[in-house]
Amino acid sequence: MELAAKEAELTKEVPNLLETMNRTSEEVNLFERKASEAQERYKKLLEQWSRLYEELRSHYGQNFERVKPYFEASAAFRSASERVQVVVREFSAAASQYSQAKAELRNIERMLAYGAHKADAAVESAAASPKFQVRITCLAQLSASFGLPSCERFSSLPQAGRELVGSGPGRV
């Protein structure tokens, strides 16, 4: 009795599942047909453009050869220009991060220089925080990668101050 009820419950969804399978199969066939048609159109257009190119080349071949270096130079210029824009954006972002990190470092240095032995808990927690350590590391990396001056004043802080931020001389 229990087995029959279980079987009835399990087979109740079979018609819906078969209908869904059929509908999905029809959609797959439709999309495959559209993809095939698009491929055919692409081949025809490619053939047309190839014929047109060959006609123009046979008629204006000498001019094609004459302007080809200018076209290639123009394409190379566009590509180089796009790469330069990417580098400029990256440099701008890095310079901004560098400035922020350097300002944070100066603030901590100033606080430590006015008495590292009396540094309050806020300075200690800020300097010992992972965020600060990451910023210091970023500062050093940005300095090196972009040829910017490093914060050499940091290494001249009193020993207590260097210990506070977890960095020895020359680590920044």
Name residue 1's amino acid: M
Residues 110, 151 contacting (CB under 8 angstroms) = no
Q: What is the pLDDT of residue 101?
A: 82
* In a domain? residue 170: no
Gap between the Cα atoms of 103 and 97, Å rounded: 10
Residues 167, 136 contacting (CB under 8 angstroms) = yes
pLDDT tens digit string along 16-68? 888 999 999 999 999 999 999 999 999 999 999 999 989 988 888 888 888 88
Phi, psi of 167 (to 5 degrees): -135, 135
Region 81-99 average pLDDT: 91
Q: Is the pLDDT score of 171 beyond 80?
A: no
Residues 142, 98 contacting (CB under 8 angstroms) = yes
* In a domain? residue 92: yes
Domain that holds residue 100: 2-165
Rounded to a whole number of angstroms, the CA Rg of the chain reads: 34
Structure token digits, residue 59: 């008629």
* In a domain? residue 104: yes
Region 109-118 average pLDDT: 66
Whether the model clears a pTM of 0.85, i.e. scores above it, the answer is no
Domains contained in the chain, number: 1
* In a domain? residue 154: yes
* In a domain? residue 172: no
Length of the chain, in residues? 172
